[in-house]
């Protein structure tokens, strides 16, 4: 088999294997045979694990990871900078703050809508803060630094709001501070998959615009793009993808940052469409594995998945920063 086919296939197999292991392992181990029996008969411990205990949690994790990974890869391509991802740009923190604020205000709105509004608000705020009259878009590094500031501000506000919540709600709000897949049911997973499907289609419909934008603004305009409109469309799709991930799993740190480059490396994908698909698969893989580690690593302790992605992502960010400094990008 040629390398061009085998490497994406390897990524797909890796994802399938991780999903299977995530379903099998946990506080109560369910071997493959038990899971199979549960799937076929719909009865027994296997069925319970699939339908109630781990099935919806893993399904929600896959969707959240894919949405975050896709969002990260889109921003990284659009800004031509591996540091441009919705977690560093402050969009995931903005989305989280909106969900916590909605809980604090007693709004009955679904978290998807709140997260989307929060992500878009953070985007608008960063756009306004980096606006330079008549000089076009700010350089990516400026956006990242301003985004970090906005993100820290939003996280601080969310933590403050959480501390003012009654205990039960505060426990639930914790998800949107650290990122976690605990207590996710089929309704959450279904909503996340629906959002991922719609926004994923929108993203792939804009791949040609992204391909032209990747060559620089002048070249993209010369190729017949309405550059400002195309950038807005691509960025809005990516912001909403990040918000869709946050709505179900909270701001799982560094997933969006890592998924694009790691996916491209593993799959060997070169075209933007291939890289986006690889980033979605890698994001899903990272989240499912992180959740598995978080709930199975320390016996008797259920850590939030966000702790595991944070532990994995922080060294990656440091490595990436040192690479960028060597290249002179910082």
Partner 1 sequence: MTLTAEALTLGYGDRMVVEHLDLTLPPGRVTAILGPNGCGKSTLLHALARLTRPISGRVSLEGRDLGAYAPRALARRLAILPQGPAAPEGIRVGDLVRRGRTPWRGMLSPWSEADARACAAALEAVGMTALAERPLQALSGGQRQRAWIALALAQDTPALLLDEPTTFLDLVHQIEVLRLLRRRNREMGTTVISVLHDLNLAARFSDHLVLMGRGGVVAAGAPGAVMTPDNLKAAFGLNARVEPDPETGAPMVIPRADGGDA
Q: Which residues contact partner 1 by CB under 8 A?
A: 77, 80, 133-134, 205, 208, 211-212, 214-216, 218-219, 221-226, 270-272
Record the tokens describing residue 309, joined without a space. Answer: 């992605």
Closest CA to 178 of 250, 285, 97: 250
CB of 213 to partner 1, least distance (A): 10
Nearer to partner 1, 59 or 269 (CB): 269
Nearer to partner 1, 119 or 272 (CB): 272
Closest CA to 255 of 76, 44, 36: 76
CB of 70 to partner 1, least distance (A): 18
CB of 322 to partner 1, least distance (A): 18
CB of 321 to partner 1, least distance (A): 18
What is d(CA 71, CA 276) in angstroms, rounded to the nearest whole number? 9
* Residue 204 burial (CB count, 10 A): 16
Contact of 330 with 321, CB cutoff 8 Å: yes
What is d(CA 70, CA 68) in angstroms, rounded to the nearest whole number? 5
CB of 116 to partner 1, least distance (A): 24
* Three-class secondary structure assignment of 157-177: HHHHHHHCCCHHHHHHHCHHH
CB of 10 to partner 1, least distance (A): 19
Q: Using DSSP, state whether 214 is helix, strand or coil.
A: coil
- DSSP output for 17-82: HHHHHHHH-SSS---HHHHHHHHHHS-HHHHHIIIIISHHHHHHHHHHHHHHHHHHHHHHHHHT-T
CB of 306 to partner 1, least distance (A): 30
Nearer to partner 1, 56 or 261 (CB): 261
Nearer to partner 1, 77 or 178 (CB): 77
What is d(CA 113, CA 240) in angstroms, rounded to the nearest whole number? 10
Nearer to partner 1, 62 or 74 (CB): 74
304: which DSSP letter? -
Record the tokens describing residue 250, joined without a space. Answer: 């909270």
CB of 113 to partner 1, least distance (A): 28
Contact of 98 with 115, CB cutoff 8 Å: yes
Record the tokens describing residue 241, joined without a space. Answer: 């993808």
CB of 215 to partner 1, least distance (A): 5
Nearer to partner 1, 224 or 300 (CB): 224
Nearer to partner 1, 39 or 221 (CB): 221
Nearer to partner 1, 80 or 171 (CB): 80
What is d(CA 267, CA 14) in angstroms, rounded to the nearest whole number? 11
Nearer to partner 1, 107 or 330 (CB): 330
What is d(CA 200, CA 240) in angstroms, rounded to the nearest whole number? 10
Residue carrying the six token digits 């969002």:
71
Whether the CA torsion 258, 9, 276, 197 is positive or negative: it is: negative
């Amino acid at each position: 088999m040629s390398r061009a086919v085998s490497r994406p296939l390897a990524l797909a197999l890796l994802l399938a294997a991780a999903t299977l292991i995530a379903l099998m392992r946990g506080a109560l181990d369910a071997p493959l045979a038990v899971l199979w029996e549960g799937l076929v008969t719909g009865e027994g411990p296997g069925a319970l694990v699939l339908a109630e205990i781990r099935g919806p949690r893993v399904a929600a994790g896959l969707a959240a990871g894919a949405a975050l990974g896709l969002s990260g890869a889109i921003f990284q391509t659009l800004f031509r900078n591996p540091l441009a991802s919705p977690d560093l740009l402050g969009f995931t923190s903005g989305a989280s703050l909106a969900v916590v604020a909605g809980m604090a205000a007693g709004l009955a709105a679904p978290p998807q809508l709140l997260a989307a509004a929060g992500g878009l608000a953070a985007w608008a705020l960063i756009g306004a803060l980096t606006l330079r009259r008549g000089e076009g878009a700010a350089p990516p590094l400026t956006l990242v630094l301003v985004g970090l500031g906005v993100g820290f501000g939003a996280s601080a506000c969310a933590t403050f709001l959480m501390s003012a919540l009654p205990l039960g709600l505060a426990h639930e709000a914790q998800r949107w501070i650290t990122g976690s897949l605990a207590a996710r049911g089929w309704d959450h997973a279904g909503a996340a998959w629906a959002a991922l499907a719609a926004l994923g289609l929108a993203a792939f419909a804009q791949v040609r615009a992204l391909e032209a934008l990747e060559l620089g603004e002048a070249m993209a305009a010369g190729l017949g793009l309405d550059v400002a409109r195309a950038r807005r469309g691509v960025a809005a799709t990516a912001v909403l993808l990040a918000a869709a991930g946050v709505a179900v799993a909270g701001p799982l740190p560094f997933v969006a940052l890592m998924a694009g480059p790691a996916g491209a490396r593993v799959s060997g994908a070169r075209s933007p469409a291939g890289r986006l698909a690889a980033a979605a698969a890698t994001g899903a893989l990272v989240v499912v594995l992180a959740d598995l580690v978080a709930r199975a690593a320390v016996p008797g302790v259920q850590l939030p998945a966000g702790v595991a992605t944070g532990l994995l992502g922080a060294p990656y960010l440091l490595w990436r920063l040192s690479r960028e400094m060597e290249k002179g990008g910082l």
